[in-house]
Chains A and B, each alone.
Chain A
Amino acid sequence: MIHYDCKYYLNTDVFKGICKRDKSNINADDEACNNFEKAQKCKHCSNFLLYGNDWGTCMSKYEAYPEMNAVTCNDFKQ
């Protein structure tokens, strides 16, 4: 579990960001803390089916990728 996958991680750039909870500066790829909660990403969505490492399908009809943010997606299902 890394910050990059956490619900409370706020990107500032591709390397780093801020914790939305305590406002600390953190690196995207560092280990997350105990407050970790899964971010809303395609890979955490029941509509997403992974095949291979980089690809998957969304609702069985669209190509999608696992790391994509889905916080704005109306079809996201935990």
Chain B
Amino acid sequence: MSNFSTYLKPVLIFAAIILTMPFWFPFLGGYEGLDTKILIWAIFALGFDLLLGYTGYLSFGHAAFFGVSAYITGLMLLHFSDNIIPAMIASVIVTLIIALLIGLLTLKRSGIYFSILTLAFAEMFHSAALSMFQDWTGGDNGLTGIPTPMLFGLRMQDMTVYYFVAIIAIILFYVAIRISRSPFGIMLRAIKSNQHRLEFTGVNVYKYKVFAFVVSAFYATIAGSLMVIYEPYVASEFLDWSTSGHLVIMSVLGGVGTLFGPMFGAAFMLYFENVVSVPLGEQWLLALGLMFMMVVIFLPGGFVDGVRKLKRKFAAKEEA
């Protein structure tokens, strides 16, 4: 019974925040469209945290899943049907198969090799999309001419898209929380703290790692698909290393391993890029880069950890 509230409380708070976002966001300088983008990246970051935060494996290649899923959704909408459901299903199936293959191959190696390998795979997909597959992907142009996505007669535009994404985000957040508090989640954290010791106890660590990787890729896949539904255009940049790089930055800034942290990081980074950048100018990424380094050096737990420390300080002050 108490389990209910531990799962539902964060989800409900989250739901309350994002369902009302279109109303309070403009007061912060946000505009329509930006809130949808924030939610999509939040989903992306959430999945990434399930990998980095729980298993400790740093992937520099998640852009591959985001981008491939986006391209497949786009191509399905363009050539098959403008209904988003078959498009999303196709994206999930194809991208997860690719993720499984990549995961099986890369997770055999240690953390550093894993990071480099994931980066290599992502760059490979990026180059292939620009050259070998340009007849399909549109090359440097990107995938253009995608019709307005429909959900059984509902045009996916503006507010409709926002609430569709919001509902998916709420569901996925709930799923993430359940995973993290499940025995599986505990296993993942054991992998992060000492993989070899776990292996000695007879656990098939490899299996858990691959599963976590695929789950993480699933979130990336959904995010990529939603991105195309929100903005019917696929840019080759979706597969660029900087997409993976931004994901890393926002997750670390927010607080790796806290689920909520990376989502907040996503909101923070996008807000910074689109709203704060106006007075700050071109240097928003410099400011974020510096913040990132400060966090890595002094506050590795990110924003969430920072808040926790502040809370403790105030609690201590009260007691004293």
Is this pair of chains taken from one and the same complex? no
Chain B residues engaging chain A, CB cutoff 8 angstroms = none
